[in-house]
Each structure stands twice: as C-alpha cells, then as structure tokens.
Amino acid sequence: MCTHIHVHTRTPFVFLTHIPTCTIARSRADTAGRVFTHSSQVQDYLKMFTMGPALTCATVMTTRQPAGAEKKVRLEHTHLFNSAGTEGGHYHGDVTPQDIDYVAYLVPCEALLLVDKC
C-alpha cells in the first residue's frame, strides 16, 4: 500500500460553522466499491437523518478541481458533529432554511493537500 500527497495552491477555504438543525446523510455499509454514474443514484443510495440542535461543521470549499485531481476533489464537502459525539455525518441541507443562523469562521488556505492511496 502506498500513499501520494498532492499539493494544490488554488486557495481553498476551510471553515467551522454552528448550525441549529439540518439534514445529514450517511452512506450505507454496502457502498464500498460501488460506482455511481449520476447524482440521482447517489441521492437514492444515501440515508437521510435530521440532526441538531447545536452542530459544528468542518467544511472545505474550492473554486475548481485542481489540475491533475479531476473528479477526486469535491468543490464543497462538509462533515458535521454534535458536542456529545453522538451525531455526525455529511451535511446535505437545512431542514428549516428560513430559521437557520450560521456562524462561520472562514480561513483562506495556502494549499489543498490531496492524499491518494494506490
């Protein structure tokens, strides 16, 4: 087993956010090795849950795929968790967007590291 680390310098952002309530998705155990060819297949495969309140998010955003990393880096990807450690997953939207309040701390990064296993 080997690992490659690629450094891309297209100024991604990392931020922490506090979200009261949201919808999250967890992939099912049998997704390993499965290839999806359309986003609707992914949505049909995920299990959605409502979580909250008081969630912390760790997000990475970038403006485009880094050269040489096409289809390996999501333009936006968010993991979230509660302080008790009993809830967590991938963020997929707000349950009540009209009531949501975000507190975000944005930090521009000098580089995006992509770790590949080969």
Quote the number of domains for the chain.
1
Question: Has residue 108 got a pLDDT over 60?
Answer: yes
Q: In whole angstroms, what is the distance from residue 18 CA to residue 79 CA?
A: 12
**2-51 pLDDT, tens digit each:** 444 445 444 455 555 566 666 665 555 555 667 778 778 777 777 777 77
Model pLDDT, residue 4: 45
What is the domain range of residue 98? 3-117
Q: At 116, which amino acid appears?
A: D
Model pLDDT, residue 8: 47
Q: In whole angstroms, what is the distance from residue 28 CA to residue 49 CA?
A: 13
| CATH of residue 52 | 3.30.1330
Number of other residues whose CB lies within 10 A of the CB of residue 19: 23
The residue among 6, 115, 113 whose CA lies nearest residue 62 is: 113
Model pLDDT, residue 3: 43
**44-99 pLDDT, tens digit each:** 777 777 777 777 878 877 777 767 666 667 777 788 888 888 888 877 777 777 77
What is this structure's pTM? 0.59
